[in-house]
Structure formats: C-alpha cells, structure tokens
Amino acid sequence: MNQLARISRTISRFAAILAAASVGTSAHVASAQGTHQARPRPQMPAVDVQLKQLLGDTPYVPLIKRDDAGNLIPYPNDTYVSILALKHNPLVTEDLADTIMPFAMQWQDDYDRLVVDLVDIAHDMDTGLMNKLDLHNESDLMTANEIMKIMMMQPGLVPSMNPQVLAGQEPIVSMQVWQVSNLMGQEYVMEEGKAAAAAIEARIGKDSPDGAIEAARAVITSMSASFQWSYTRQLNEAAEILPEVLDRMEIDGKHRGLWTAMWEQASATDMPGATTEAVRKIMKELPYEGKQSLLRITHEIRHEKHTDPQDLYPQLWDIRNKPALPTGE
C-alpha cells in the first residue's frame, strides 16, 4: 500500500501548493525562486478571503458546486477550469471579453500542444491504460503515480491566463482581473484535489485493498479527463482530413497508401466514429515522432483552413457566454 499512499500524497501536495501559491506570480517564476532560495514564504490568506479583498462588494459565483450530500460536483471532461473562471469573472466586461478571446484561443493551442508533447502517454491512456494497470503490482502503482504527477503539473506547464500571456506591449488586462480568474480556478482545483485525496485516504487501511485501489484508479481517471478529452478531440480532427495529413507526413508510399485505403473504407461505412478508429490504428503503428507529426500537421492544416477563431474552437467561443454551473439535481 506504500505506493497507493504515495498517490494520495501527490494529490494532497498539489492541493497544498495551490493553496500556498503567491497570487500574481506565474508558476515557473515561483518554482525558480523556490528552488534557489530557501526563504520561508509568508502564508497567504484563504482563497475566498483573497477574492473578497480583490472584489470588495462585487458579487461572484464560485465554480464550486455541491450535491445534497455535500460532495463536489465535477465538470464534464471537455471543461477547462481556467476558461470557465474567465467566463464567470465578474470583472470581465463584454468589451474586455472581446479583447481576451484571441488569448483564450492561444491557451487552447498551448494545451493541445502539451498533449502532443506527451503523446505516448495520451495514446496509452486513450487505449485503456488505466484499465490495464494492475494496481496490486508495485511497478504499475509507480506508473500510476507518475501519471498523476504529470496531470498535476498541467496548470504549471500550460501558460494559462497569466500576465505574460495576456500582455503585449501594453497590458491586455489588469492584474486584478487576472488575479480574480486565477483564484476562482484555484478555489475549484484545490477542492477537487482535496476531495480526490480524501477518497483514497478514507479507504486505505479502513477498507479492503481492492477498495482503496479502485478509489485510486477512479481518481486518476477523473483528474486526467480533460487531458484525454483533448487527445480524443485531436484524433477526431485528424480523422476529418487524414488524406491531407498523410500527404504531408514523411512516410513511405506503401504505408501512406495502406492507411489512406483504411480511412476511405471507414469513410464509406455508416458506423459513427469509424474514421477516428482508423486513426487510432494508425497511431498504434507509428513511433513517438510519427504520432507527434500526425497531430501537429493536423493542427497546421486546421489553422490554414479556419482563419475565424469561432470555427477553429467553437467550444471556447464567446467568453461572454456564461454557461450554467451544475446544481447537482
């Protein structure tokens, strides 16, 4: 159970890091300062207190929603908390939303590129890695812990809505606007991390080993949902234009012909998702660099074809659209 407890500690540490993070400081700067200087940091007030200090009497709607039993209600897999926080930030006016929108598109691009950089892990998870892992096995538990670490690193790796991204020669948004969005997102992610760690801890030593293991599996699967969703969406996009993608890839004519024929055969069927399954089969045969190339070329072609951001990322379009938050009903 040592590795299982380690997974729980990884999640707990992530929640604690978010709670202690200095507001207004990007993740990589904070990390660099922490690495080279051992000076103690002043303890930051609770997130809700910081939001009150920033907003004063301006009301805001927390992203945290609970069911009747008090459990956190998770968002769908295709929800990015950073974007959701920006949409519900009470300081973001309609005019400011129009200004920020292109940077939200850039955020989506950055996130997709992160998934491409980790394409082997994304591919393994997409093809059922979590169901295949034997969490009774020490080696597989170590693998699960490493996956969790990667998932926890995402907010730091993706240049989210920070001042460096939302700034040109002149700042695009005030620090106050960024801080509020950042804190609203932190408030939810911290709660998600604490709930996930508690789900495992509650069953370690108090339940059968199988119960704790299944809790860990469920937590990792849940925390990696948006990562997997981004990969699946990119596969779907590749499936729409695969012949064009293959023409640009540096692969021999034999394989290009076989894979094009496979795609054409899938396209001729009425089976939903048949072309995406064809892409999955191709991805399985490609080495790491080939997998990256297929997704990157897909990305390039889509950008060439869709100059209107609304067509490129319809799921993000219009930050002024504040989607209803879950009620638990």
Length of the chain: 329
CB 133 within 8 A of CB 140: yes
| Domain assignment of residue 248, yes or no | no
45-52, long-range: CB within 8 Å, 24+ apart, which pairs? 46/19, 47/19, 47/183, 47/186, 47/187, 47/190, 48/187, 50/23, 50/179, 50/183, 51/180, 51/183, 51/184, 51/187
For residue 157, the model assigns a pLDDT of 43
Give 11-33 pLDDT, tens digit per residue. Answer: 666 555 444 433 332 332 233 33
Give 59-77 pLDDT, tens digit per residue. Answer: 988 889 898 988 888 887 7
% of the chain at pLDDT higher than 90 = 23
Among 177, 182, 235, 191, smallest CA distance to 58 is for 177
| Domain assignment of residue 127, yes or no | yes
Pairwise CA distance, residues 3 & 135, whole Å: 9
For residue 87, the model assigns a pLDDT of 83
| Domain assignment of residue 32, yes or no | yes
Give 117-128 pLDDT, tens digit per residue. Answer: 999 989 998 988
| Domain assignment of residue 174, yes or no | yes
Pairwise CA distance, residues 124 & 227, whole Å: 12
Pairwise CA distance, residues 35 & 93, whole Å: 38
Q: Name the residue with higher pLDDT: 59 or 198.
A: 59
| Range of the structural domain that residue 9 is part of | 2-229
Give 250-295 pLDDT, tens digit per residue. Answer: 888 889 999 999 999 999 998 999 999 999 999 999 999 999 999 9
Q: How many domains does the chain have?
A: 1
| Domain assignment of residue 121, yes or no | yes
| Domain assignment of residue 50, yes or no | yes
For residue 309, the model assigns a pLDDT of 67
Average model confidence (pLDDT) across the chain: 76
| Domain assignment of residue 242, yes or no | no
| Domain assignment of residue 159, yes or no | yes
Determine if the pTM surpasses 0.85: no
Q: Name the residue with higher pLDDT: 81 or 158.
A: 81
Give the DSSP letter string of 107-156.
Answer: HHHHHHHHHHHTHHHHHHHHTTHHHH--TTSHHHHHHHHHHHHHHHHHHH
CB 156 within 8 A of CB 27: yes
Pairwise CA distance, residues 43 & 19, whole Å: 9
